[in-house]
């Protein structure tokens, strides 16, 4: 797979390093009791920018194209992180300064650049595959087409979430969408769906394992349907429950695909452990919250769910794929070996596990130990990737 030009790779690296830094910041915010700041940094500083960076690098090459203008990625980087900085600063400023509307506007502008550049590059090819997905071509090709067709769907959810975010926060009194709904569009509709779609191709490419087509179709179709119900009908029954069922099917199917690859492959690449632990964290997260969606179970499961998603599924999955694309052993520096990379993944996994236990038991010392473990793991990952980029 063509990994794109040097310019795009540079911006992907910067998105990656800034995202890991934001993840550390979100964990420190949790330690300080600033939960809203933690969510802002986790969603807008960590998950979305990391996906932006990888998307700039991967999506054009995914359909055999080149980004229309590499400078757009740099402009988007600046807008995104200035916007996030203003959103976080708004949490600490009590004066009547319009930091949040300005931050939302900058963030929205960056998203428009991202969507516009990708649509101009990937759009014609990706959209044209939708009609052919159910055509007369071979089943393997149809599966590939379906995965490609998920790209505009995922970007569509990003657009819906961003429009809702902008209208609600900038045009006061017009919007009725909550931030929780926006994050469902972003995390479930944009980030998770892209992980499912790209993952089905990347797992095959890196590990030379043919995935079960029926499970791939289940994951992609359920993953495409779920966010529409979760984001639009948050806590409105029965539609929210329908979305929860589809989200659970998609995530558990993805867990099955990842574990299938782990069992079948002979290629023991470092990143697979992060991808596997991330999938397990995601599967545990959706299973833990299903009872609550149906009106029974422990309400504390919502906090466990959020912890497993923001500190488990996304960090571990993203780090796993990052280690595949940017092999640590390719650098010449202290710690540039598989053992160190696996150790950082292990610490991240242990950290989120301990955090989740602490949250579930409502026992703060255990939760704090888990957060500190995640901080150490994140700093370790940031060090390895940062040094790898410097030495590349």
Beta-carbon count within 10 A of 335 CB: 16
pLDDT of residue 392: 64
What is the rounded average pLDDT of the residues 358-367?
Answer: 94
pLDDT category at 88 given cuts 50, 70, 90 is very high
Is there a domain that residue 344 lies in?
Answer: no
Domains contained in the chain, number: 1
8 A C-beta contact, residue 313 and residue 285: yes
Is there a domain that residue 149 lies in?
Answer: no
Is there a domain that residue 111 lies in?
Answer: yes
Q: Could you read off the pLDDT of 204-213 as tens digits, one per residue?
A: 889 989 999 9
Parent domain of 29: 1-124
8 A C-beta contact, residue 185 and residue 227: yes
Is there a domain that residue 28 lies in?
Answer: yes
What is the rounded average pLDDT of the residues 141-165?
Answer: 88
Instruction: State which H helix or E strand residue 180 sits in.
Output: helix 179-184
pLDDT of residue 29: 95
- Taking phi over 0 as left and psi of -120 to 50 as alpha, with beta for the rest, 104 belongs to alpha
Is there a domain that residue 75 lies in?
Answer: yes
pLDDT of residue 223: 96
Is there a domain that residue 330 lies in?
Answer: no
Among candidates 159, 157, 151, 153, which has minimal Cα distance to 125?
151
What is the rounded average pLDDT of the residues 358-387?
Answer: 95
What is the rounded average pLDDT of the residues 268-276?
Answer: 90
pLDDT category at 70 given cuts 50, 70, 90 is confident
Is there a domain that residue 360 lies in?
Answer: no
Q: What is the chain's mean pLDDT, rounded?
A: 87
What is the rounded average pLDDT of the residues 75-82?
Answer: 96
Among candidates 357, 360, 232, 365, which has minimal Cα distance to 302?
360
Is there a domain that residue 175 lies in?
Answer: no
Pair of tokens at residue 2: 């063509």
> pTM of this prediction?
0.91
């Amino acid at each position: 797979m063509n990994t794109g030009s040097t310019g795009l790779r540079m911006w992907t690296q910067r998105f990656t390093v800034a995202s890991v830094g934001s993840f550390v910041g979100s964990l420190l915010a949790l330690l300080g009791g600033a939960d809203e700041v933690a969510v802002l940094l986790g969603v807008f500083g960590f998950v979305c920018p990391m996906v932006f960076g990888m998307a700039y690098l991967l999506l054009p090459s995914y359909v055999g194209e080149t980004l229309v203008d590499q400078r757009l990625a740099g402009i988007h980087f600046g807008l995104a992180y200035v916007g996030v900085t203003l959103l976080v600063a708004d949490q600490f400023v009590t004066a009547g300064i319009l930091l949040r509307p300005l931050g939302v506007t900058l963030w929205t502008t960056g998203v428009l650049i991202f969507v516009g550049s990708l649509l101009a590059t990937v759009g014609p090819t990706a959209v044209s595959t939708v009609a052919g997905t159910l055509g007369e071509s071979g089943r393997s090709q149809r599966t590939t087409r379906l995965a490609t067709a998920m790209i505009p769907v995922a970007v569509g959810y990003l657009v819906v979430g961003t429009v809702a975010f902008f209208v609600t926060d900038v045009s006061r009194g017009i919007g009725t969408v909550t931030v929780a709904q926006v994050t469902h569009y972003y995390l479930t509709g944009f980030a998770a769906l892209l992980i499912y779609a790209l993952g089905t191709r990347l797992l095959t490419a890196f590990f030379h394992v043919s995935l079960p087509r029926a499970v791939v179709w289940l994951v992609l179709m359920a993953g495409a349907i779920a966010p529409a119900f979760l984001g639009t009908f948050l806590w409105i029954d029965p539609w929210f429950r329908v979305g929860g069922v589809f989200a659970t099917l998609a995530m558990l199917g993805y867990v099955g695909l990842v574990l299938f690859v782990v069992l079948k492959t002979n290629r023991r690449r470092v990143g697979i452990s992060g991808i596997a632990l991330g999938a397990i964290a995601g599967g545990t997260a959706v299973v833990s919250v299903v009872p609550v969606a149906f009106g029974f179970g422990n309400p504390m499961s919502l906090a466990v769910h959020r912890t497993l998603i923001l500190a488990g599924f996304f960090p571990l999955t993203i780090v796993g794929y990052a280690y595949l694309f940017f092999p640590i052993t390719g650098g010449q520096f202290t710690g540039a070996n598989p053992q160190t990379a696996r150790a950082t993944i292990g610490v991240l996994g242990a950290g989120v596990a301990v955090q989740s236990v602490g949250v579930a038991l409502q026992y703060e010392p255990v939760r704090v130990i888990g957060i500190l473990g995640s901080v150490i793991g994140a700093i370790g990952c940031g060090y390895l990737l940062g040094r790898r980029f410097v030495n590349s």
